[in-house]
Amino acid sequence: MSSSSGTTMPLAYQTSASSPEWLNKGDNAWQLTAATLVGLQSFPGLVVLYGGVVKKKWAVNSAFMALYAFAAVWICWVTWAYNMSFGDRLLPLWGKARPALSQGGLVGQAGLPATAHHFASGALETPAAEPLYPMATVVYFQCVFAAITLVLVAGSLLGRMSFAAWMLFVPLWLTFSYTVGAFSVWGGGFLFQWGVIDYCGGYVIHLSAGFAGFTAAYWVGPRAQKDRERFPPNNILFTLTGAGLLWMGWAGFNGGGPYAANVVASMSVLNTNICTAMSLLVWTCLDVVFFKKPSVVGAVQGMITGLVCITPAAGHHACIMRRFSRFLVKKFHLLDQSPARLVYLLSVHVR
């Protein structure tokens, strides 16, 4: 194939059945990479973190809860939940439930049909979002977001809920809670039409996971008295390993938000790391001020606080919430050993 100037076009830029004209290979490669980084946050990142932060007798069950959630979300997502979150509009807060498995749909150009915005007169103001890569890439990217949300909720129920109950909770919460937020804010639902902006999951992921974890922990009830009196992590190195995977994976979490390999993605990754580092250092300093010594678990909490706060651009609220979160833990006997679970709720909510 030759270009308009008569020179031969490099093979990488020639169109074919597997590389149509609308495909931006750079955007597609980055979006797949970002999705994989987010997936690594859940498995093995949070699996290792949960296995290290709880008591030894709960370590395997806690890690298995996270692993099960990651796998179960995949099946639910491609079977019905993706189109409830990003498909054609059914209700102002829900899309039409149907599988996202047809080859024709997956290999075609990505599109979020309900994201078109119209004037009051009915005239089109902005067209529906259409990233320059296949629908399969969007299904993958959004699936790992849904999966990590359930894995985050699991952190509030470590040592509280039986595995059988968790097996039922995952598909039910995904269907009746996560899809509502995802479609309302990202998929073209009523909040999207009102102009609500959630850059990369401040409401859809962190706030919903925070509220769900807080509510579930409250209604399931406190752990046994002997477990509440002393709850040391069983493996600090595992905790740090999981935390490191979570931090590095956040480059995909926020960097994939623009749906393209562009300047916004670059700035998002840089800002994410700056905010996270600052939050970790400030939290560690506050541990020294209030508790007379630094804490590894406290540093991990500070790290996660920074990650959560920068996601919806609420970084300036990160560390002032630490004492309030500890107050809630004691007030309601939540004993949330999973780092920063309440901070997921509080840091995003005050933005």
**pTM score of the predicted model:** 0.84
The DSSP bridge partners found for residue 91 are 94
The CATH architecture that domain 25-349 belongs to is Orthogonal Bundle (1.10)
pLDDT tens track of the chain, all 351 residues? Answer: 555 555 666 666 666 767 888 899 999 999 999 999 999 999 889 989 888 888 887 888 888 999 999 999 999 999 999 999 999 999 999 999 999 998 888 999 988 887 887 777 777 778 888 889 999 999 999 999 999 999 999 888 877 888 999 999 999 999 999 999 999 999 989 998 888 888 888 889 988 888 888 888 788 777 666 666 666 778 889 999 999 999 999 999 999 988 999 998 999 999 999 999 999 999 999 999 999 999 898 899 899 888 988 887 633 344 444 455 555 555 555 444 555 454 545 444 444
